[in-house]
Amino acid sequence: MHIIESGNVAAATGVKLSRAQVIAAYPITPQTPLTEKLSEFVESEEFDAQYIPVESEHSAMAVCIAASTAGARAFTATSANGLLYMSEQLHWAVGARLPLVMCVANRGIGAPWTVWNDQQDTMSQRDAGWIQIYANDHQQIIDSVIKAFLLAQTVSIPVMVCYDGYILSHTYMPFEQPDQDQVDSFLPPFAPKNFLDPENPGNFNPVTLPDVRPGVDGEIEPGYIEIRHNLHEDLRTTLDTYAAIDKEFEEQFGRGGNPLIEQYKCVDADFVAVCIGSLSYQLRDVIDLMRDDGVKIGVMSVQMYRPFPDEVIVAALADKKCAIVLEKALSYGNQGALYGDIKSALYNSDTKPHVHNYILGLGGREIKTQHLLDALTESCKSPETIGDTPRWIGLKL
């Protein structure tokens, strides 16, 4: 069914179609309409789930961890400071290998307070071990949520589905809403191997010592470093797992094909603008203007940021003249996190482009097409300009 709705409703609809069983959430702008929609679905009995309106984000994630440990498919959503308030629990959910799914409507972090969009909130959590998927439009939001549930339970790692606050969360766009039957055949019920079961008592996440030690049956069990090593290895294979899930999704629903990166006019391009999220669609207009002037430029968005699809990115950028990384987040005191990751991925490549870094849109600062055009034009004119100091767009000092 084709509908026109907000990004938050697209996310809520994806959660409903995925038959999440427990939802715990706390209101925070701009995520709130998503959880309101879910509570409406649940209370009208359109959606058979437990909705728990908790007293904070910390509790929201705690409820999801507990629900998932008890074998339920659990979901929450948040933004900005709410995500950071969950931080302790985010690490716990990953370490406990719980297949949670969480939507994050990206928003800047206080202080000073801002309710507007940037991506510092989720980017600051990149090292927690969660899988991070970013959506560029409403269709990608609903599709990513459904795929995220399958991915999470396949690899036993929680997944964040991130989308730009307001720009996507509150705007209305047409998108295709899959049928329940189709989603049911794509996403089987959650059937965990280990879960809290009174018939089969177990000890979850017991204290580890620095070295390995035997478990109750006398067998040596993995210690802390082994458990964390395995998490990392599993995250690395997640890139292929997600590509396979996306392929399956494409076969069934006719949409997909760009699970890790999405490219626009990149094939013959000398220059590629690289970004995350909805900015990539705004950049398409700029790229078209520059193409009219004969500049061979394209745009690439990173769809899965963690695990980082380094090989795919190297393959896409290695033979270009310049990659221009535009970010709505910054690793303060250093450079844009995505910029650093891309340079790191290219380090061992035989050929590599120059890489430029721009910071923009923090706290919802308007991103003007003219500013993007000026920045990209400058980078394309002098790609050999070296320097890791990020350049700022739209700054009014």
- Region from 29-37, 221-229, 283-291, 373-381 binding another protein, contact rule CB under 8 A: 29-37
CB of 88 to another protein, least distance (A): 15
CB of 124 to another protein, least distance (A): 15
Question: Where in 224-263 is the site for another protein (CB under 8 A)?
Answer: none
Which one of 14, 33, 165, 336 is in contact with another protein (CB under 8 A)?
Answer: 33
Alpha carbons 85 and 164: distance in angstroms, whole number: 19
Q: For another protein, which is the closer residue by CB, 67 or 313?
A: 67
CA 252 to chain centre: 23
Q: For another protein, which is the closer residue by CB, 25 or 313?
A: 25
Q: Could you tell me the CA-to-CA distances from 139 to 58, 112, 325, 388, 392 in Å, in that order? A: 29, 33, 24, 35, 31
CB of 86 to another protein, least distance (A): 12
- Site for another protein contains 36 (CB under 8 A): yes
CB of 397 to another protein, least distance (A): 22
Which one of 5, 27, 87, 176 is in contact with another protein (CB under 8 A)?
Answer: 27
Give 31: exposed, middle or buried? Use CB within 10 Å, 0-12, 13-18, 19+: buried
Q: Cα–Cα–Cα angle for 12, 23, 48, nearest 5°?
A: 80
Question: Where in 38-57 is the site for another protein (CB under 8 A)?
Answer: 39-40, 43-44, 51, 53, 55-57
Give 4: exposed, middle or buried? Use CB within 10 Å, 0-12, 13-18, 19+: exposed
- Site for another protein contains 7 (CB under 8 A): no
187 half-sphere exposure, CB direction, 13 A CA radius:
29
CB of 227 to another protein, least distance (A): 31
Which one of 81, 87, 258, 349 is in contact with another protein (CB under 8 A)?
Answer: 81
- Site for another protein contains 88 (CB under 8 A): no
Provide the 10 A C-beta neighbour count for residue 74: 32
Alpha carbons 1 and 20: distance in angstroms, whole number: 21
The sign of the torsion formed by the CA atoms of 24, 30, 33, 36 equals: positive
- Site for another protein contains 202 (CB under 8 A): no
Helices assigned H by DSSP within the chain: 7-17, 32-43, 57-69, 80-85, 87-95, 120-123, 138-155, 180-186, 224-253, 279-292, 310-317, 337-346, 369-381
- Site for another protein contains 385 (CB under 8 A): no
The sign of the torsion formed by the CA atoms of 336, 368, 9, 24 equals: positive
- Site for another protein contains 113 (CB under 8 A): yes
Which one of 29, 139, 208, 377 is in contact with another protein (CB under 8 A)?
Answer: 29
- Region from 21-29, 90-98, 214-222, 304-312 binding another protein, contact rule CB under 8 A: 21-29
CB of 396 to another protein, least distance (A): 19
Catalog residues that contact another protein under the rule CB under 8 A.
26-29, 32-33, 35-36, 39-40, 43-44, 51, 53, 55-57, 81-82, 85, 110, 113
